[in-house]
Amino acid sequence: MTITRFAPSPTGRLHVGNIRTALHNWMLAEKAGGEFILRIDDTDAARSKEEYVEAIRTDLAWLGIAADREERQSERLDRYEVAFNQLKDAGRIYPAYETQQELELKRKVLLGRGLPPIYDRGALDLTEEEREAKQAAGIEPHWRFKLDHDEAIVWEDGVRGTAKFDPKLLSDPVIRRADGSWLYMLPSTVDDVDMGVTQVLRGEDHVSNTAVQIQMFTAMDAAVPSFAHEALLVGKEGKLSKRLGSLGCDVFREKGIEPEAILALLSRLGTSLPVEPITDRAILLDTFDLSTFGRAPARFDDADLDRINTAIVHAMPYEAVKERLPEDIDQAGWHAVQPNIATVGEVAEWWRLVTGPIEQPEFADDDKAYLAEAARTLRWSDDPWSALTSALKESTGRKGKTLFLPLRQALTGMNHGPDMGELLPLIGEAEAKARLERAAK
């Protein structure tokens, strides 16, 4: 069975990059009839907050991304301890005592010599007596995973193709701090093993992490999942943008963006497939394929999202939105204003043209006379707008803009808007007549 996971840290709200990762992992599992796990990576007790856990759940539910099960790292600390001790006993984990300042000095020296800033494994050269002396002095060690330098790390990446790392060019990663708290690497690997994760899809910024974790899987005699690393999102200007880190579901909801628009955009962003206003998830799933993903950065543009959202709103049936509309708007009202809105939230402003009050412009004397005649001419029928304009065209000789614009301005207070053939019946005969008479004064 295909098993994927989305593993956010509850230290803030999900942003658009997180959402894209969650969506793609859900799609991988859903298309294969597999399992999608939401794993809350909350080992950082100081920064993790329950309010963000709830926000993550809320955002995924709003998007319709349903996890088959949820796991929490904070409930698995004993399991990490067992794995840590097993790897330590096997000689794959060792204590290191350098301070942050000492490590930074080593890094600067290496860079100054034109060498890669790789940890020199100085901690492995300490004698037992030297370690005991540091412990006696109250210096607690942090812990590193010892990489195997004998063989290259190679895997077939689902997006990038063959990936190869020389472990000698990687630092032995710190997996545990001196205070006993965990960093990302080991708990994540242990979780993937225990939860049976078969495919890991994440951003390309994790490529070097994957190289390290492959050795961790091997050290634990565990099956290595398939890995795929997709290009990161960039802004429309082509650069990595801090702004993308602040764009999340709360912002999208506030702007009136439909979740279907977000899914339609993010499911194909960075692929060779066209980004279209597709609301049928079956279509998005059927066409989702890692082979379509490119290596170039995926550009996120608000204009694309707005375009897709507008197209989706214009195609939404009344039944899908009626609970979100002003309570007195019916199907005819929705149909009338729908072509003029970009978000469902804009309906109320357009519906004001029906319910009033409206603010009419000041008309020239000849237009006032014309509108007075319109008030006298108005007769109600199945199509009052066509009947009114046809009669006025014949009686006044007006046509085009001079025929239609004063009527629209008098009836709605605007120069543009919904089709008057649909809007006038909604305004009603008495109110329409009253507006025409008021404009003629």
Closest to 401 measured CA to CA, from 354, 361, 367: 367
Tell me the C-alpha distance between 379 and 159, whole Å.
Answer: 66
Is 106 part of any known ligand binding site?
Answer: no
- Residue 280 CB coordination number (10 Å): 10
For 83-117, the DSSP string reads: HHHHHHHTT-EEEE---HHHHHHHHHHHHHTT---
Q: For residues 157 and 161, what is the distance between their CA atoms, to the nearest angstrom?
A: 5
Name 238's Cβ contacts closer than 8 Å, sequence gap at least 6. Answer: 297, 299
- Which neighbouring-strand residues pair with 37? 5, 69
Supply φ then ψ for residue 270, to 5 degrees.
Answer: 90, 5
Residue 230 has a CB neighbour count (10 Å cut-off) of 24
Query: Considering only CA atoms, which of 182, 224, 221 is closest in space to residue 92?
Result: 221
Give the ranges where 288-399 is alpha helix by DSSP (H).
302-315, 318-321, 331-337, 347-355, 365-377, 384-396
Q: Which of 249, 234, 293 shows the shortest CA–CA distance to 267?
A: 293
Close Cβ partners of 75 (under 8 Å, ≥ 6 residues apart): none
Amino acid at 268: R
The pair phi, psi for residue 359, each rounded to 5°, is -110, 110
Structural contact between residues 235 and 241, judged by C-beta atoms closer than 8 angstroms: yes
Q: Residue 263: which of 288, 246, 245 has the closest Cα?
A: 288
Helix, strand, coil content of the chain in percent (nearest 5): 55, 10, 35
Nearest-CA neighbor of 154 among 166, 171, 169, 145?
166
Binding site, by residue number, is: 242
The binding site for ATP comprises 242
